[in-house]
Amino acid sequence: MVKVIPRTTKVLERLAAKNTPIYRTLSLYYKKLVREEVTLANIQATDKVLCIGGGPCPFSGILLHEYTGAHVTIIDNDECCVCIAKGLIEKLGYSDSITVLHSDGNNISPEDYSVIHMAVQVSPMEKVFCHLRQGCRMGAKILVRLPKKTLSNLYSINDLSVFQSCSGKAVHSWRNVDSTALFIKS
Ligand SMILES: C[S@@+](CC[C@H](N)C(=O)[O-])C[C@H]1O[C@@H](n2cnc3c(N)ncnc32)[C@H](O)[C@@H]1O
């Protein structure tokens, strides 16, 4: 049950990465969400952004770059997703501005990045978040997408209270994502 939403998302994203009308339609879901996140973290062109969990069609990483001009590095621990996402980034002509790597959020060194973005499907959410918060540089901003309470059993989050002490929050309506929490390393 826990993996139903992440698996469905991957299937839809595989289709989107290969089909422009599906890509355009699904990207509508992310546009307002990402705009609100850009505002929340005040992301600038000079930021170095790391996205954890891009999937085969990394909408969030792509929109973060398009809305801010910042360089974005996207990682995923599924080799097949990375391969499809690399092809899409090349097709979109973003190879100089967006890098896609096969890596796990639990192993990546976060100190080179000023903004870190975590997808709601990241697993295990609390462990990856603690690893990133511990290793990132002072002043770095971490954005964590959190599911609606009623849906949290469909994601890899056991303890939402870990994310309560955030510096700010963007609340999203009409989505499986309840809010994005902002943490600033101090
Ligand atoms: C399907 S995507 C959804 C994100 C969406 N495409 C976006 O742009 O916001 C979520 C991805 O997170 C990846 N993932 C989950 N846990 C991870 C982890 N610990 N490290 C890296 N990737 C992870 C999964 O393999 C999956 O492909």
| Sequence spans of domains, the chain | 4-184
What pLDDT score was predicted for residue 159?
Answer: 81
pLDDT, position 46 = 98
| pLDDT at 15 > cutoff 70 | yes
Res 94 pLDDT > 60: yes
What mean pLDDT value characterizes the chain? Answer: 94
* pLDDT for the residue numbered 8: 87
Please state the rounded mean pLDDT for residues 10-22: 94
| CA angle in degrees (0–180, nearest 5) for 141-143-145 | 170
Predicted pLDDT at 2 = 55
The distance from CA 10 to its chain's CA centroid, rounded to whole angstroms, is 14
Q: Does CATH number 3.40.50.150 belong to domain 4-184?
A: yes
Kind plus residue range of the DSSP H or E element containing 126:
helix 125-135
Residue 54, classed as helix, strand or coil, is: coil
* pLDDT value at residue 1: 52
Residue 42 Cα to ligand 1 middle (Å): 23
Inform me whether the pLDDT recorded for 146 exceeds 60. yes
Work out the pLDDT band at 85, boundaries 50, 70, 90: very high
pTM here is 0.94
Q: How far apart are CA 105 and CA 134, in angstroms?
A: 12
> Does residue 23 contact residue 57 with C-beta atoms inside 8 Å?
yes
Task: Choose one of 8, 23, 34, 77 to mutate for the ligand 1 pocket test, by most ligand atoms within 8 angstroms of C-beta.
Answer: 77
Question: In angstroms, rounded to a whole number, what is the distance separating the alpha carbons of residues 71 and 64?
Answer: 9
Q: Give the residue carrying structure tokens 């469905």.
A: 8
